[in-house]
Amino acid sequence: MKPFVVAAAVVLLALGALGCSQKEAAPQTVKLTVSDKGFVPAEITVKKGVPVTLLVTREVEATCATELVIEGQGIHKPLPLGQEVVITFTPDKKGEIRYSCPMDMLSGSIRVQ
């Protein structure tokens, strides 16, 4: 009977450790606005391999930032005035991801750690 108890304890410990190691990090959510100053905030930091959700609201009509472009991620999203736009992607490598308006006049960066 003793070997069975030991074996059961080993299995439970292994399953517990496996469950802990597979927990996913919480999604990263960042609010961005397009104001008369451009993208605010212009620089953000996120973690590699963890989904990022950008909540982008264009607050001004007179701007070239009527769309958000993230070339390395294949993202080109229209930004209707006064409407929150949800953009989700997962950065797969460390470094900097640049985002901009379609004319590349207003920009910002996402630092991936």
Read off the pTM.
0.75
pLDDT tens digits along 33-89: 999 999 999 999 999 999 999 999 999 999 999 999 998 899 999 999 999 999 999
Model confidence at 5: pLDDT above 70: no
pLDDT at 24: 64
Between 4 and 50, the higher pLDDT residue: 50
Tell which CATH classification among 3.30.930.10, 3.30.465.10, 2.60.40.420, 3.40.50.2020 matches the domain 25-112. 2.60.40.420
Question: Are 78 and 96 a contacting pair, CB within 8 Å?
Answer: no
Between 23 and 86, the higher pLDDT residue: 86
pLDDT at 15: 44
pLDDT at 3: 56
Q: 54: Cβ–Cβ under 8 A, 6 or more apart, which residues? A: 30, 32, 68, 86, 87, 88
Q: Which run of H or E residues covers position 95?
A: strand 95-100
